Structure 1
Amino acid sequence: MMTRNKLRKMFLLLAALSLLALAGCSEDTPLAPIADPDPQTEAPTLPDASKLQIDLSFFDQGRDLDKAAARWNFFNAYLRAVVVTAMTEVVLAPPVAAFSLAVHTVPSYQPDGSWLWVYTFVNGAQEAQIRLRGIIGDDHVDWEMRVTALDEGIENALWFDGATRDQGDTGDWTFYDVAQAGDPAVAELHWAHRPASNTIRVVALLGDDAGNALTFSEADGENRIDFDENTGDAWFIRWVEADGTGSLRVSDYNGGQEACWDEQQ
């Protein structure tokens, strides 16, 4: 059975491949599409990979706050935001990498009506292949991504499946852990990008974390990170980029009460 370390190495390999593709360094040639029997048929729209990325640039610049308590509140929020975002990226990295790579290939039309993007990368002993399949429904597109890396013991493994709507602006995907027997579903990803709001939500499905949900949202100029635990507890971090204000409320900080920092920068 494939180990978790091998799976983590596969995550890192795919992320590296996406960077190479975006930099134009790939040695692969895009696949030629099969002749389309229906000239009106077009490949489904790939979701914009940048919409699955979390923006914490607000915290990068720091804040010159007058009060020590305000500075500590901001620093505490920053640390928690970085940690939970890093955890979320473990889930988001595969689709972001896959779609970044797929942009650089030509999809081929399949006899079953689906479209297939295939990207193969070979670099010495490292070899990986991504197979991204999309099939257009009435008001949505069904997707699945499979990965093969024979040197890591991975062969045509289902990494995620799900559907997108609204030209990729909304979607729901389920992720599977191919390192466990039966390839159980381990997480769900939901996103919605509207003119006035953006939301990314990750829900754990397996183990002690099952039911935990992490939501990143932006609406009316306010950004939020909300974490809902399966125990019923909930905490949040919120900030307004326009004036620098923000606050956090977590059970193990400030007695569980909301702690703020002011707009002084």
Structure 2
Amino acid sequence: MQADFSEMENAQKAKASVAAESNFTTALTATAVTRLILNANLAIPRALVRAAQQHDPEEIAEGEWEWSFSTQANQNQFAVRLIAVTNSQSDVEWRFFVSNSATTPVLDNALLFHGNTNFDATSGTWIYYDPASGDQVSTLEWDINDDQRTLTLEVTSDRNDKHGDTIEYSFDGTVKTMVYTDVSANETTTIEFNTETKAGFMISPDYNNGVKACWDEDLNNTSCSS
């Protein structure tokens, strides 16, 4: 599960012959910033989970399964153990451990994340850790229901001065919305984009004096209806 605003990037490319106007381009830049924050927190876990999907687990106890394999992420080679324990008819507890003798400090079966999901992983919560220190880094909650998707990331470490910041993403099948809260600045930025019409808006205290700024289906600045 990830926040995806690729339709905005594609809309800009499709309009390359005529420059998109400022409201849209500012919003597009803001979504790129939030994507950097998401990647800083989720890139390695996401790569390791994808690698786990290429391997078969072994049942090590009743209701407990283990994946064990080696893979590369961010140019580092990791030995990985993924443990899944079924707690009920609809709930799975996950623990993800990594080892790497080439890192400083050396990682020896260090916890990378743990969490709970339903059986088909359409909803759940991950808690991510810095495997070197053991400190909690961020939490991720998500829910997928037909065309509707929600994702919330909260940064729980001081890494990159983002402690307490949140990114909330939702998609209802047509409209994508992202809300970024910068706790240290006490500021909230909201971006909404219609994937069918390409129209949308942005509300940010750092742009347009904090007043709602809209664009139309041609990505041109336009007055907001409300």
TM-score, with normalisation over the residues of structure 1? 0.72
Moved more, 89-98 or 128-137: 89-98
Q: Which amino acid aligns with 2:171?
A: E
1:235 aligns with 2:189: yes
More relative contact order, 1 or 2 (CA 8 Å, 6+ apart) = 1
Displacement of 1:112: 6.1
**C-alpha distance in 2, partners of 1:56/1:89?**
14
Displacement of 1:179: 3.4
Q: Which residue of 1 aligns with 2:108?
A: 155
- Higher strand residue share: 2
**C-alpha distance in 1, partners of 2:70/2:128?**
21
Match of residue 92, structure 2, among 141, 145, 152: 141
1:75 aligns with 2:22: no
Q: Gaps (5+ residues) in structure 2?
A: 220-226
CA RMSD of aligned residues (A): 2.4
Displacement of 1:200: 1.4
1:203-234 Cα offsets, whole Å, 9 max, x none, are: 01123533221011101511011012336532
Say whether the 8 Å CA contact 1:127–1:150 is kept in structure 2: no
Q: After the TM superposition, list the runs of 4 or more consecutive aligned residues in structure 1 that deviate by more than 3 angstroms.
A: none
Q: Which residue of 1 aligns with 2:224?
A: none
User: Tell me, what secondary structure is at the counterpart of 1:239?
Assistant: strand
Q: Which amino acid aligns with 2:205?
A: S
**C-alpha distance in 2, partners of 1:198/1:121?**
29
1:254 aligns with 2:208: yes
Displacement of 1:59: 2.0
Say whether the 8 Å CA contact 2:8–2:198 is kept in structure 1: no
Q: Gaps (5+ residues) in structure 1?
A: 1-51
Q: Which amino acid aligns with 1:131?
A: R
Say whether the 8 Å CA contact 1:114–1:134 is kept in structure 2: yes
Say whether the 8 Å CA contact 2:8–2:193 is kept in structure 1: no
Q: Which residue of 1 aligns with 2:35?
A: 85
Match of residue 172, structure 1, among 92, 110, 125: 125
Moved more, 245-254 or 228-237: 228-237
Match of residue 191, structure 1, among 120, 142, 146: 142
User: Relative to structure 1, is the Cα distance of residues 94 and 112 closer, same or farther in structure 2, using a 3 angstrom cutoff?
Assistant: farther
Give the aligned length.
208
**C-alpha distance in 1, partners of 2:42/2:76?**
22
1:203 aligns with 2:154: yes
**C-alpha distance in 1, partners of 2:136/2:111?**
10
